[in-house]
Amino acid sequence: MKDLTNSNIDRQNILNNHYALSQIQEYIGLPGMIFEGEYRFTKEMVANFFEIDISTIDRYLAKYEPELKHNGYILTKGKQLKDFKLQFDHLIDKASKTRQLGLFNFRALLNLSMLLVESEKARHLRSKILDIVIHTINEKTGGGTKYINRRDEDYLINAIREHKYRKDFTNSLNLHIDLGNYKYSLYTDKIYQAIFRENAKEYKQILKLADNENARDTMYAEVLKLIASFEAGLAYEIGKKSGELNRKLFSSEVDQIFKDFADHPAQLPHIEDARIKMASRDNFFRDAFHHKLKEYITSVSSADFEKFIGDRSADFEEQLKEAGDVFKRLKDSE
């Protein structure tokens, strides 16, 4: 089980998932004050809920202020405090005697619950939070996340395009390299290693895929797009070099083409983006840890939750039905 007290990334992943947040908020049912469109809680209310002293909250605010403010903690003063007092001064005596007042929204309160080690209530809540998050994702994806990548509305079109460029790439390997059938798996692995530092076997082990399962069926649209870019570019460079020499290339010559292509500065931003997306999404959605990409793991964005479990996500079977004309155009172009 994840230790939320030790991982800012794990905490932020939960706080960015507003589908889980709404269920957690309903589960807790803590009454608050509606101010500026959302529930707000004073430090005293938060301290009472977690059965701790206000001084403990102040200590956590001092230590984790940037994180808590990022997730909704505010220090009201001036006109904002005046507006708050007009609505709630009758409920909070101390509000009339202060020139500034700290307020948590629900997201910041939940953030604090993931940090507190002094509160038994917070410890129990952390366990329940993780249960709710898992339940929410399973509910949205139909019980599994192995193929959550397919819920991206951009997945299918990129998968179709990649298949075409894959064919061009293997044709180039066949025509221009003096090597047996081993070259297909060899240079496919070189593409994988250049992009996400893993060969096909390592990738499948991390995602717990069976031998007969296709690794690319589990890859995100952005990763497939970059693989297609590599395949198209390498096919061109290999054919060009073979034409210049008027013969098939030796493996050492192709290795150099691969190295030069992967190391080109134009590729680096795209490679970095693919690594961040794959490592971060797999870490959260699939609980799959890419050791060789650990420095690229960040929190999953709110946009990604929309993409894979929200209103923007799409059932793969429905995508297939709607993509009939795309398949036809591709077939006609071959």
Judge if 23 and 169 occupy the same domain: no
Between 142 and 324, whose confidence is greater? Answer: 142
Q: What is the pLDDT of residues 20-52, one digit of tens each?
A: 999 999 999 888 899 998 999 999 999 999 999
Task: Answer whether residue 214 shows pLDDT above 50.
Answer: yes
Classify residue 118 by its DSSP letter.
S
Structure tokens at 77: 């003063």
**Confidence band of 331 (pLDDT split at 50, 70, 90):** very low
Q: Are 281 and 304 in contact (CB under 8 A)?
A: yes
Classify residue 288 by its DSSP letter.
-
Last residue of a domain, one of 91, 106, 141: 141
Judge if 282 and 321 occupy the same domain: yes
Judge if 136 and 201 occupy the same domain: no
SS3 256: helix
Judge if 176 and 90 occupy the same domain: no
Contacts of 72 (CB under 8 A, 6+ apart): 38, 104, 105, 106, 107, 108, 111
Q: What backbone torsions phi and psi does residue 179 show, to the nearest 5 degrees?
A: -160, 155
Domain with 122, as residue range(s), is: 4-141
Q: What is the pLDDT of residues 89-128, one digit of tens each?
A: 776 665 556 788 999 999 999 999 999 999 999 999 999 9
Judge if 200 and 320 occupy the same domain: yes
Last residue of a domain, one of 141, 157, 175: 141
Structure tokens at 330: 């591709």
**Confidence band of 132 (pLDDT split at 50, 70, 90):** very high
Judge if 316 and 174 occupy the same domain: yes
Judge if 159 and 115 occupy the same domain: no
Judge if 109 and 168 occupy the same domain: no
Judge if 175 and 306 occupy the same domain: yes
Judge if 116 and 40 occupy the same domain: yes
Q: What is the pLDDT of residues 7-18, one digit of tens each?
A: 999 999 999 999
Judge if 41 and 174 occupy the same domain: no
Judge if 211 and 311 occupy the same domain: yes
The CA distance from 294 to 301, in Å, is 17
Last residue of a domain, one of 141, 174, 196: 141
The CA distance from 126 to 8, in Å, is 14
Number of domains observed in the structure of the chain: 2
